[in-house]
Amino acid sequence: MVNHNKLSTKAYVLKRLREAERPLTGNELGKDAGVSRVAIWKGVHGLQASGYSITGDEAGYRIKKDAASDSEPSDFLYPWEFAEREGNFHYWENTDSTMNRARELAEKGAAGGAVITAGTQTTGRGRNGRPWASRAGGLFFTLLERPGCPVIDYTRYSLMLLLAARKAIGNVSGKKARLRWPNDIYVENRKIAGVLTELHGEGDRLKWLSLGIGVNVNNPVPVRNMVNCAELAGRPLSRRELLLSILEEWSALKASDIPPGELCRLWNRSCDGIGRTVALARNRAEEPEGGQPDGTGVFLGTDFSGRALLRCGKTIKRLAPGKVSLRYIR
């Protein structure tokens, strides 16, 4: 690690070259960072091997920019892209699922706060083991947390991540994003993201909790009722910037220690479809999500435990996430 702001050599070189308005020499970079010119050279070559358009000549190093947009033509999720957060990041160019990698890290004792990212996933999944298309250009990552709270409180973290992602997606796309119970984010009635939660407890306490999320950013979407951020914004968007925005919102919510009642109210204010009639279907792994309707009711939002409140005649049903799906009728 270099001494400058506790960044790795790659992270430091990348940061300086992005900020610079002129070429920077290896000697200059090394002197500022407190490392040798050879260390800078190795860092630059490592970045070049990873796909960065960095050129070098007698004047120094520079990052090649797109002439039309005056920006880098790259959108990487390598750990060194995240500066001081770098030590918390784990990246795979291609993996089966970031949830699987998170579980392995948790079982090896990785600390809470880890962020597991991937360029693509071969077997990304949603609720009840159903597949989630994970094509190149999308944002797929898992957060590993060790909150040490009672197992019963795990839904608090899922609600917070959905709120964080909803706000960040709305900010980058310029469109209003809404939540749909239990774990989806929609824009203009089309699905753009989903969250998946996995946990391991000891007794009545959480040992670890992983929260996976897939966001359609620049990737093609497979069905009509889905959309990506690029279509909404009218241009390709940075997965890196979206991930940073989600993490900033996520960190702020965790630090706020928001009371359960306020979290519930905030989630319901961000939720789509409260007051609408929905069809209720029991989830079965062998059937498409939604299954065969098992009745209807009026959706009233969620409670402190993340359960859906459904008015069915004169009774109020409380439905646990994972057990059922709701499909809006009117």
Look over the chain and give the mean of its residue pLDDT values, rounded to a whole number: 89
Instruction: Examine the pLDDT at 293 and tell me if it is beyond 90.
Output: no
Q: Which domains does the chain have, with CATH numbers?
A: 4-63 (1.10.10.10), 79-269 (3.30.930.10), 277-328 (2.30.30)
CB neighbour burial string for 12-30, b if at least 16 within 10 angstroms, e if fewer:
bbbbbbeeeeebbebebbb
Q: How many CA atoms does the CB half-sphere of 60 hold within 13 Å? A: 16
Q: How many CA atoms does the CB half-sphere of 57 hold within 13 Å? A: 5
Q: What is the pLDDT of residues 314-329, one digit of tens each?
A: 999 999 887 678 888 8
Q: What is the pLDDT of residues 209-242, one digit of tens each?
A: 999 999 999 998 877 889 999 999 999 999 999 9
Rounded CA separation 177/185 (Å): 7
Q: What is the pLDDT of residues 126-152, one digit of tens each?
A: 555 565 566 789 999 999 999 999 998
Q: Name residues whose C-beta falls within 8 Å of residue 256's C-beta, 6 or more positions apart in sequence.
A: none
The 10 Å Cβ neighbour count of residue 131 is 10
195 and 158 Cβ atoms separated by less than 8 Å: yes
Q: What is the pLDDT of residues 70-102, one digit of tens each?
A: 556 678 999 999 988 999 999 999 999 999 999
Mean of pLDDT values over 283-305? 72
> What does the pLDDT read at residue 294?
72
**Which segments within 38-168 are labelled E, that is strand?**
54-57, 60-63, 89-95, 114-121, 139-145
Q: Name residues whose C-beta falls within 8 Å of residue 35's C-beta, 6 or more positions apart in sequence.
A: 2, 3, 9
Instruction: Examine the pLDDT at 1 and tell me if it is beyond 50.
Output: no
Rounded CA separation 301/274 (Å): 6
Q: What is the pLDDT of residues 12-45, one digit of tens each?
A: 999 999 999 999 999 999 999 999 999 999 999 9
Cα separations in angstroms, 169 against 158, 163, 205, 251, 320: 16, 10, 32, 16, 26
pTM for the model: 0.89
29 and 61 Cβ atoms separated by less than 8 Å: yes
Q: What is the pLDDT of residues 174-186, one digit of tens each?
A: 999 999 999 999 9
> What does the pLDDT read at residue 224?
82
Q: Is 46 helix (H, G, I), strand (E, B) or coil?
A: helix
